[in-house]
Structure 1
Amino acid sequence: MAERDIAHVSAVELRTPVLDDTVRFFTDQMAMEVVERRGNSVYLHAWDDYEAFTVKVAGTDTSGIGRTWLRARSPEALERRVRDLEAAGLGEGWISDEFGYGPVFHFTDPDGHPFGIYYETRRYTASDATRPSLKNQAARFPGRGANVRRLDHVNFLARDVPVNEEFLATALTGRASEQIVLNDGTKAAVWYTFTDKSYDLVYTRDWTGTEGRLHHVAFATDTREDILRAADVFLEAGVHIETGPHKHAIQQTFFLYVWEPGGNRIELCNAGARLLLAPDHEVITWTETERAKGQAWGLRTIESFHTHGTPPVVL
C-alpha cells in the first residue's frame, strides 16, 4: 500500500443563491464564527478547527459544491501528490491568494469536482471573545445551536464511481473502508479514508448521470445527544429536517440530515469511537439486498436521499 500523503480534509466551499440566509444558518444553527469576508464569499470557522476556516460560503446563482481543500502531510507529500495529479491530467495550477493558506495546487477529480491541496497553513487565532479556557482547543465552546466541532467528511455524487475510486486510491493515496456493490456487480458507492477515521471522502452514483454534484457535507459533534438537541434547534428555526436522527448501518454513524437555506444537504454526525486501526483493514461490502433493509435500527431510507443533490438537475 502506498504511503498516505493526505493529512485530512480541511475545508469545503458551498455555493448558495441565498448567501445571507446560508451564512446565518452556519452562525446561528451550526454555531460557527465568521472570520473573513471577501467579495461575495464568507469564511466561517468551527470552534475546534485548528486552521483558519472550515467552510467558505460563496454567493452564486445556484447551490452546489465548490472547492474541497486537502492538507498534505508534509512538503514532500505535497510534491508527490502534485506530480501524480499532473501526470493524470487533472492539474489546474498553483494559486497563492486563498485566505488562510500558503500556495495551493488546484485540480479536479475525474467527475469535475474542484479541489485544492496545500501544506503551508495559517492556524486560527482566538480573539478575546473566542479565547478558550482550555489551551488545547482552538476556540471556546460556543454553547449554542448545534455546536459542531469540525468538518467530518464530504459525500460527492459522481457519474462514474469506479473511475473516481481509482483517483482516490492512486492520485490521493486513500484507502477504502466500505462499499456498496449492486446485484449486477457495479459499485454504487465507496467510502475512503486518509486518516484513522473510518471515512473522509465518499462517492455515490448520481442517478441523473451528470457530473460535479454534491450529496452532502458532514460536520462532527461530540455526542449523540448534541445531534438530538440540534434536531430541536433546527425545528424551531424552520430548517428542513430531511431524515433522522438515526443510526446508519454503513459506518455506524449516528446522523441527522437537513437542508440549509440554499438547498445543500448538511449532515450532523457522530461516529463514536469507531476507528480503523488495522493497517490491513478488509473492505466491508454491502449488497443491494442488505441496503434495502434500511438503516441500522430499521428506518427506511427516504426517497429524497437518492434523488436530491445540488445543484438541482432538471431532466
Structure 2
Amino acid sequence: MKHTIIAAGMSIFAGAAMAENSVLHVYTYDSFVADWGPGPQIKAAFEESCGCDLQFVSAGDGAALLSRLKLEGSRSEADVVLGLDTNLMTAARDTGLFATHDIFVEGLTLPIAWDDAEFLPFDWGYFAFVHNADLPNPPQSFEELGASDLRILIQDPRSSTPGLGLVYWIEAAYGDGAAQIWQDLADNIVTVTPGWSEAYGLFLEGEADMVLSYTTSPAYHLIAEEDPSKSAAAFDEGHYMQIEIAGITAASDQPDLARAFMTFMLSPEFQSVIPTTNWMYPAALPASALPDGFETLIAPEKVLHFSGDEAAALRDAAIDRWQTALSR
C-alpha cells in the first residue's frame, strides 16, 4: 500500500477510516509532549482526522527513546517512535524493531536529499550554543570557548540527541583533534544533564553563560515571549545539522493507523505547528512559510553532517573521548 505526500500540501490518510476507537501509541521525547510543545496540537488535529485515540508516551530525551525500545523489544506498546535522529538511525535500524513505512514522499524541504525505507524526517535544525544577547564577545569557535572562562551546560550523549550531536559536531569539525577540544572544554562545563529540557531550564535560571541548544532557540524567546535577549553564537568551523525522524515499529498492532500518522506527520497540518512549538525547521514546508522572526536567526556558512552509517561507526570512540576528557 502506498500513502502519498503531495508537494502542494494534500495528504491521504489511507486506513484512517477503519481507526474508530483504535489507540495509537507514539513514543516521543519529553519536550514534544509538554504543554508548550507540538504534542497537544498534533494530538487534537490527528484525532479529528482519524477518529482514534492518539496517546503520546514520553521517554526522556531522544536517545533515551531508542534505549527504551531496545529494552522493551517486541513487547513494546509503541506503534510509532518519533524523535530519533539521523545520528541514531543506523543503530535503530540494526535493532530489527522497525518496519518499512511504504510511504512515497514528495515535497520535502530538507537541505539534503532523503530516501529511506524505514524512517521519515519531521524537522531539522543546527546545534548551537545559546547565550544572553548582552554577553560580551561571544566565542566564535570551540577553541575560543575552551580558552574562555565562560560556564556552559551540555547534555549527556548517551541519553540525549543534542548531547550526541555535540560529540559529532566536534568530531566533524576537528577530527583527530577532538580529544584536545574536549580537554579544553572540560573546565567550562558546569554540569551534564540527561536531556535538553533540564539544561535549558538551568540556563534560564542563570546557572551558566551558555547552553547547548539550537540556532532556532532564540526564535522562541523573540516570538513567544517578545523577548530579543537571547542569541546563538556563530562558530567559524560550522554547525552540525540534526534531522529528527520517526519510524513505525515492526510489532505495531495498528500498522495502517501508524502509516496514516506518518503521512499526517508530513502534512501542512502537522508541519505548520513545528516552527512555533518545537522551534525547529519543518521538513516539508518552504522557507516562505516560516513565521516572522526566523529571518533573524544565524545561518551557518558551513554545514557539518554525518550520514547514519558514518555516525554509527564513530559513536563509541567519540563518546569515549568525551568521557575520558570529562573524567580527568
The structure number with the bigger radius of gyration is: 2
TM interval, short-chain normalised: under 0.3
Q: Flag the structure with higher helix content.
A: 2
TM-score of the superposed pair, with normalisation by structure 2:
0.25
Higher RCO structure, 1 or 2 (CA under 8 Å, sep 6+): 2
Q: Flag the structure with higher strand content.
A: 1
TM-score of the superposed pair, with normalisation by structure 1:
0.25
